[in-house]
Structure 1
């Protein structure tokens, strides 16, 4: 999935654009991963829809940033990307941190969001137990680097124990640097937007992996209860934290039906 580059709000952002005149769908990946987690959706749905998959700062092809940032800043960057691409509106979504950004974009500019696709994500701030765990993991990776003692549990948490986990462990070993700079504060210090979810009235597809140990199901159920346009949480059997990549045979039909209903995707 080759990338293009745009400078928005003073920062370089790299993204993949499948092109075409189908309904646009803007997707963001989870932490430690990149745009390629959506390769199965590109293969299944392009060119009937225009899939735009972006790399977060310090992930994939997008450079890191020296200054502190928030997911609100990244949501504003995505509005800039939409402006650059000439998109008045799009279906917007993501996995984990990609969902954090999508929710904030919908709060900042609801007229730009036709519908939301939210997978294994949440609206609340990081709780104390999770913060302690993540801070310990980041510190260990800074000290030891991408060693298997750390990469094996990380890959299992994000991707399960199959071929995708093994491939990503190798990618992390090969990378010049892991996203351990200012992006970690963005994750650890995110704010709670759960009390504003009623403001987001567009349709929302909610997806959760049944084996996701990063994000308990009740955090997805909170989205289902408070987002007026959300349906029931769709559980992906056997999936960990990144079902779009590891279980596309379950995810793609859900996404296709949702896009047919809410974006005009051709059957």
Structure 2
């Protein structure tokens, strides 16, 4: 097995460096692209890279969207479509023609966009703790969070273009992410790990601009409801019942919009939190392997 961690230079947005971590076991094995949740890094998917059943059967690539980790771009305003296009160029740079794409939370939004942009290259999408809507009143009525309110301070800060060399996110932000992501069972080890990661990435003027770009992406993203019938690859959606960000009721509504997918399956997971692999790691890995096993030869 070959483990690689670094960046790939792509042309999108007049030049972008995309951060990734890749573990390739066999050139003939299917590839699974893993897209991280908000303000984490490729380290979010360490449980997948450490799972021998997965790594023996699937080549893994974890990847960091614009506004995250070691990914860098010259652009000052970005969208999830930009990340999707940059990821497709990253696959080109790594010599990968086709892949299954899995995303947690915002990663699900990007996975769906990749399937829309490059239907011949995305063999299937796996959605975890996500939504296909904008930050809408309709989604809040179904029990989803108010993402515009949650990101309002960072969005407002994005309007101030003056240099902020002393910018730091503070512990309040990382604690907020831990609480909504991992839930009541979050460990002190995880709190420390991600507090250090967020402090390292999102500090100084460059860090301020990066986290503000990421926040604007959430609050202003476009919904995909009218586009989902155009996704023709298989879809697996896993959603925790204790997810405080996106609800099972919302997922039940939206999975029906994949009208032309050969499979569109929702699996609610009892007691599962937003970062679902924290409470249901074994179940997620089993479903990944079964899903890829069903569709890798089509």
For Structure 1 versus Structure 2, the TM-score category normalised by the shorter chain is: 0.7 to 0.9
Deviation of the 1:76 alpha carbon: 0.9
Q: Return the alpha-carbon distance in structure 1 between the equivalents of residues 21 and 282 of structure 2.
A: 22
Select which of 21, 33, 36 maps to 1:16: 21
Structure with larger Rg: 2
Which secondary structure does the structure 1 equivalent of 2:226 belong to?
helix
Structure 1 equivalent of residue 186 of structure 2: 162
Distance 1:148 1:214, change over 3 A: same
Structure 2 gaps, min length 5:
138-145, 158-163
Which secondary structure does the structure 2 equivalent of 1:214 belong to?
coil
Which secondary structure does the structure 1 equivalent of 2:256 belong to?
helix
Q: Return the alpha-carbon distance in structure 1 between the equivalents of residues 174 and 7 of structure 2.
A: 29
Structure 1 gaps, min length 5:
none
1:253 aligns with 2:282: no
Distance 1:246 1:32, change over 3 A: farther
Q: Return the alpha-carbon distance in structure 2 between the equivalents of residues 64 and 23 of structure 1.
A: 29
Q: Return the alpha-carbon distance in structure 2 between the equivalents of residues 13 and 103 of structure 1.
A: 19
Kept in 1: contact 2:67–2:214 (CA 8 A): yes
Deviation of the 1:222 alpha carbon: 2.8
Kept in 2: contact 1:66–1:182 (CA 8 A): no
Structure 2 equivalent of residue 199 of structure 1: 230
Structure 1 equivalent of residue 9 of structure 2: 7
Kept in 2: contact 1:114–1:263 (CA 8 A): yes
Which secondary structure does the structure 2 equivalent of 1:7 belong to?
strand
What does 1:50-69 correspond to in 2, within 5 Å? Answer: 50-63=59-72, 65-69=74-78
What does 1:60-79 correspond to in 2, within 5 Å? Answer: 60-63=69-72, 65-79=74-88
1:116 aligns with 2:125: yes
* TM-score computed with the length of structure 1 as normaliser: 0.88
Kept in 1: contact 2:35–2:63 (CA 8 A): yes
Superposed CA RMSD in Å reads 2.5
* TM-score computed with the length of structure 2 as normaliser: 0.80
